[in-house]
């Protein structure tokens, strides 16, 4: 099983970015943690991060026939990106949306996700554990198919 972890804008700054909301672990720390977890279950994981919407769309398109599932934290593009939503729908790769913070308890504009309706479901508010829960959710889903 091969899973793509897609990370949107500003997640490259995790560790120093608003640590009260996003914690002090870097994206590299999360990648190491997730790869250790994945290895235990014989799952292959690739991490990808971009600040550019079109690069995330390209990566989703390229994932077809390579990855079995996607776990994505679209970050700010969650609330704006029809293009990422359409890309997920276009490739038909089962996808789980994750967020470190709980987007439903923050500003009004964060409560809407344009990307979540293209996904199996959404995990939000569990800190970096949202990444681990995303891995469990996508692998259990794929196993049930
Ligand atoms: C985020 C929540 C988004 O609203 C925000 O724009 C982010 C991070 C999260 O993981 O909590 O960049 O996706």
**Mind listing the pLDDT tens digit for each residue in 24-60?**
999 999 999 999 999 999 999 999 999 999 999 999 9
Residues of the chain with pLDDT under 50: none
3-state secondary structure of 121: strand
The one catalytic residue among 41, 77, 79, 99:
99
3-state secondary structure of 7: strand
What pLDDT sits at residue 63?
98
| Angle (CA) 13 123 59, round 5° | 55
In ligand 1, the atom with minimum distance to the C-alpha of 124 is 11
Residue 59 is part of a domain; what is its CATH number?
Answer: 3.40.50.9100
Cα–Cα distance, 76 to 87 (Å, whole number):
17
Active site residue 131: no
The whole domain housing 22 covers 2-144
Active site residue 41: no
Q: Specify the number of domains making up the chain.
A: 1
Protein residue with its CA nearest to atom 2 in ligand 1: 75
What pLDDT sits at residue 95?
99
What pLDDT sits at residue 97?
99
Sole residue written with tokens 């990648």:
31
User: At residue 7, what are phi and psi to the nearest 5 degrees?
Assistant: -125, 130
What pLDDT sits at residue 85?
98
pTM, 2 dp: 0.98
What pLDDT sits at residue 17?
97
Cα–Cα distance, 25 to 141 (Å, whole number):
27
Cβ < 6 A, ligand 1 pocket: 10, 73, 75-76, 78, 99-101, 103, 110
């Amino acid at each position: 099983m091969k899973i793509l972890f897609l990370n949107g804008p500003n997640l490259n700054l995790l560790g120093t970015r608003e640590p009260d909301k996003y914690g002090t672990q870097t994206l590299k720390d999360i990648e190491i943690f997730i790869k250790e977890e994945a290895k235990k279950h014989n799952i292959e994981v690739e991490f990808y991060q971009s600040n550019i919407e079109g690069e995330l769309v390209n990566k989703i398109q390229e994932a077809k026939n390579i990855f079995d599932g996607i776990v994505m934290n679209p970050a700010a593009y969650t609330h704006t990106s029809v293009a990422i939503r359409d890309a997920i729908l276009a490739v038909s790769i089962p996808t789980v949306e994750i967020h470190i913070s709980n987007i439903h308890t923050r500003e009004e504009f964060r409560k809407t996700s344009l990307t979540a309706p293209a996904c199996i479901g959404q995990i939000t508010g569990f800190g970096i554990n949202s990444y681990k829960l995303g891995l469990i959710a996508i692998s259990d889903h794929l196993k049930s198919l």
